[in-house]
Amino acid sequence: MSRKTKTTRIDIYARITDRIVADLENGVRPWIKPWSACNMTGRVSRPLRHNGQAYTGLNVLLLWSESVAYGFNSATWMTLRQANELGAHVRKGESGASVVYASRFTKTESDLRGGEIERDIPFMKAYTVFNCDQIEGLPDHYYCAPDAIAEPLERIEHADRFFDNTGAVVRYGGNQAYYSPPTDHVQLPEPAQFRDMASFIAIRAHETLHWTSAAHRLNRDLSRYHKDRRERAFEEVLVELGAAMICADLGIVPELEPRPDHAAYIQSWAAILGSDKRAIFQAAAHAQRAVAYLHDLQPQAASEPEAA
């Protein structure tokens, strides 16, 4: 890897991490977004590409954060070239948002004996996209409202089925929500104890994301969760990201007011992300993997992989 390429990657890590840390230090969780998307009729969604495909991983967080910062209502984003190909143009003076693309390539090198070996080299690059609110002249369907969404009660029932399909054992009672590794179960208060069903689903999503950590599932080691503040902060930010994605996929508005413990969590998240420029990238990757795992447990799981 050249010095220029390495420096570019470091700059991407630092630039993105510094922005997220700044949000956290201001008490803002950048993955919690107001869900009033005018061209989605209020529909909850991950950020979408120009073709309607949802973004995944860290790009979800980046574009949600950008929407909050600039008050965008549209869920759809595209590059300048994509807008031009659709006969549209970005308004003069508008600034784009950075998203990242990560992949690998294989390089053949000579070893000490003169033979050839192949090295798998990861790389990352950033590119710029614009929100549809910044673009004029797009085809009507980018601005027109889609068909009406399902009634709230039906959407909640759908969410319950989603979590039931995972097979996670849930026990109800008490006033705490947590995942218990020794007994491999999710503990939740009775639904009636929540202020609304959307909040209940958000908490169930959070704890089910912890459930994916088990050794026979995704094997995230939580043995030091209660002993190591850094390990706990990393797992919690990972689960927060994943739960936000799941709620968006299910059309559920996550709880927008923080739980009592979130103030302490936010401070620890800012500290861990500020000291390690790669931590948020790693957390987002683990979160995306956990979200995909839960989707794969559904009876009719999609066979095609999502784009990064």
| pLDDT score for 264 | 58
Highest mean pLDDT (candidates 16-20, 136-140, 193-197): 136-140
Mean pLDDT, range 272-279, rounded to an integer:
78
| Alpha carbon separation from 292 to 68, 70, 255, 286 (Å, rounded) | 25, 29, 22, 10
Inform me whether the pLDDT recorded for 225 exceeds 80: yes
More confident residue, 68 or 240: 240
Band (36; pLDDT cuts 50, 70, 90): very low
**Contacts from 188-197 at CB under 8 Å and sequence distance 24+?**
197/152, 197/156
H or E stretch including 97? Answer: strand 97-110
Q: How far apart are CA 268 and CA 274, in angstroms?
A: 10
Give the pLDDT band of residue 145 (cuts 50, 70, 90). low
pLDDT at 171: 94
Q: In the structure encoding, which two tokens stand for residue 154, read together?
A: 């039906």
Q: How far is CA 81 from the centre of its chain?
A: 25
Helix (H) or strand (E) holding 185: strand 185-188
Strands 170-172 and 185-188: what pairing?
A: parallel
**Cβ proximity of 178 and 187 under 8 Å:** yes
pLDDT-derived band at 18 (thresholds 50, 70, 90) equals: confident
d(CA 258, CA 261): 8
Residue 61 is predicted with a pLDDT of: 83
CA distances from 259 to 35, 199, 202, 234, 289 (A): 19, 11, 12, 18, 25
CB–CB of 100/59 below 8 Å?
yes
pLDDT (tens digit, 9 = 90+) per residue, 77-111? 999 999 999 999 999 999 999 998 877 767 777 77
Q: Give the whole-angstrom CA distance, residue 48 versus residue 74.
A: 9
The DSSP secondary structure of 274-297, one letter per residue, reads HH-TTHHHHHHHHHHHHHHHHHHT
pLDDT of 302 > 70? The answer is no
pTM: 0.74
Task: Provide the residue type at 25 as one letter.
Answer: E
- Give me the chain's average pLDDT, please: 80
User: What is the enclosing helix (H) or strand (E) of 106?
Assistant: strand 97-110
Helices (H), 38-87: 58-70, 80-85
